[in-house]
Amino acid sequence: MKENKQPLTTLSQQEQERYDRQVSIKGFGRKRQLKLKKARIIVAGIGGVGSSASMYLAVAGIGSLTVIDSGEVELSNLNRQILHWEKNLGTSKALSAATKLKQLNPDIEVTAREESITEDSVLKLLEGTDGVIDCLDNFPSRYILNDAALKLGVPVFHAACSGFEVRATTIIPGVTPCLRCLYPRELHQAKVPILGSIAGMAGNIATTEAIKLIAGLEPTLKNRLLIYDGLHLRYNLVNISRNPDCLFCKGVRTNEG
Amino acid sequence: MKVKVLLFAQHCEAVGKKEIEVDLGKIDKITAGELYQRLAREYPKLKKLAKVTLAVVNNDMVNARALVKDGDEVAFFPPMGGA
């Protein structure tokens, strides 16, 4: 993918015009837009949640975006994975996504990683990033991502969905519960039923969280789990706490000033 | 005592309702775990979800030993990992 050659200390005339409608939000401004430009964000999993998450990170002007997925596009993905189209069937999801993200915003750097999140690869993949959007579709991979993020002090914007429901939280190592505090046991499901619009909401919530954290805007979903039930129109914000006995985040210190 | 129980995801499907009012008669305190066991006797499909069930009392996530009192709002739901 083409690299972002824009200087990171200023907004070009084109960028000022491109981002004008968000820079003009009260309390946002050019300084926060520059923070987005300097940010390096990873989207782990380019499925239904990752599609919307990465699209809105791209158009918001996150300077460096890396999309990670080892999968290929299948027909049954197309009800929700809106970055992948029928012409992409059988091709790499990471490449399919990166190509379109670059077209959505040519001013940013987009990198495709056609690989799985494994214990061997994860630390190298996350090194130097400002945050990772957890859009993975299975608990083992989500736990691997969680454990590496704890080691590196990388914020994780967790988003998941099933049926009409969304769950999201913002994990700050050493500050908030980690994924293993929140979900000490996983739920095994062979196939998770998902409505595309709900996956999109999950991704958009996580992306909004990432943008706010990078831009320095509060409050966020730190120490809170959002439950959204789109079928019954219910919205709950549950207070969550670190498990003092969690073997994975016990002793993890915060990078937050 | 009476409590309101909210159910999400597979727990909502298992019970067939998004929320239920539970009348515990003369009982004046119960743990979240005991409340779940009582519900599972009435709604047997909840039994297979017991090991993964998460509990919330008055908007705070709690463990199974947490006490539930008259008028409390309790929620039960499973972990969610799909995308």
pLDDT digits (tens, 9 = 90+) for A33-69: 999 999 999 999 999 999 999 999 999 999 999 999 9
User: Does A4 have pLDDT greater than 60?
Assistant: no
- Using a CB-CB cut-off of 8 Å, the residues of chain B touching A239 are 59-61
**Are the CB atoms for A50 and A202 separated by under 8 Å?**
no
Average of pLDDT values for B38-65? 97
* Any domain includes A1: no
**Chain A residue nearest residue B8, CA to CA:** A229
Task: Name beta bridge partners: B60.
Answer: A239, B57
**Chain A residue nearest residue B18, CA to CA:** A232
What is the dotted CATH code of the domain comprising B16-77?
Answer: 3.10.20.30
User: Could you tell me the residue range of the domain that residue A74 belongs to?
Assistant: 14-239
Return the structure tokens found at A96. 């399919």
Average of pLDDT values for A133-140? 96
Position A7 confidence tier, pLDDT thresholds 50, 70, 90: confident
* Any domain includes A250: no
* Cα separation values, A123 from A41, A60, A64, Å: 14, 26, 18
**Chain A residue nearest residue B82, CA to CA:** A137
**Chain B residue nearest residue A182, CA to CA:** B79
pLDDT at A252: 87
Residues 145-204 of A with CB under 8 A from B: 159-163, 165, 167, 182-183, 185-187, 189, 192, 194, 199, 202
Closest partner CB to A185 (pick from B12, B60, B79): B79
User: Does A161 have pLDDT greater than 70?
Assistant: yes
pLDDT at A140: 95
* Cα separation values, A256 from A153, A175, A176, A216, B40, Å: 9, 8, 11, 12, 43
Nearest CA to CA, how far is A224 from chain B (Å)? 9
User: Could B79 and A138 be called an inter-chain contact, meaning their C-beta atoms sit closer than 8 Å?
Assistant: no
Closest partner CB to B83 (pick from A47, A182, A238): A47
Position B11 confidence tier, pLDDT thresholds 50, 70, 90: very high
Taking the CA atoms of residue B76, residue A155, residue A222 and residue B51 in that order, the dihedral angle to the nearest 10 degrees is 10
pLDDT at A127: 96
Average of pLDDT values for B13-17? 97
Using a pLDDT cut of 70, give the percent of chain A over it: 97
Q: Report yes or no: B60 at the A interface, CB cutoff 8 Å.
A: yes
User: How many residue contacts between A and B have a Cβ separation below 8 Å?
Assistant: 82
pLDDT at A5: 61
User: Does A190 have pLDDT greater than 90?
Assistant: no
pLDDT at B82: 87
User: Does A189 have pLDDT greater than 90?
Assistant: no
Average of pLDDT values for A141-145? 97
Distance CA A203, CA A209 (A): 10
Nearest CA to CA, how far is B8 from chain A (Å)? 8
User: What are the percentages of helix, strand and coil residues in chain A, rounded to 5?
Assistant: 35, 20, 45
Torsion over CA: A74, A51, A140, A191 (sign) = negative
Nearest CA to CA, how far is A238 from chain B (Å)? 5
User: Does A1 have pLDDT greater than 70?
Assistant: no
Position A8 confidence tier, pLDDT thresholds 50, 70, 90: confident
Distance CA B41, CA B46 (A): 8
Question: How much is the mean pLDDT over chain A?
Answer: 95
* Any domain includes A7: no
User: Could B18 and A232 be called an inter-chain contact, meaning their C-beta atoms sit closer than 8 Å?
Assistant: yes
Q: Report yes or no: A138 at the B interface, CB cutoff 8 Å.
A: yes
Closest partner CB to B83 (pick from A199, A227, A232): A199
Position A105 confidence tier, pLDDT thresholds 50, 70, 90: very high
* Any domain includes A245: no
Q: Report yes or no: A107 at the B interface, CB cutoff 8 Å.
A: no
Number of domains in chain A: 1
Average of pLDDT values for A72-84? 98
- Using a CB-CB cut-off of 8 Å, the residues of chain A touching B12 are 229
Average of pLDDT values for A170-198? 95
User: Does A112 have pLDDT greater than 80?
Assistant: yes
Average of pLDDT values for B43-54? 97
Using a pLDDT cut of 70, give the percent of chain B over it: 100
In this structure, what are the phi and psi dihedrals at residue A219, rounded to the nearest 5 degrees? -85, 165
User: Does A188 have pLDDT greater than 70?
Assistant: yes
Q: Which DSSP helix (H) or strand (E) runs through A66?
A: strand A64-68
Nearest to A133 by CA among A204, A215, A36: A204
Burial category of A164 from C-beta neighbours within 10 Å (exposed 0-12, middle 13-18, buried 19 and up): buried
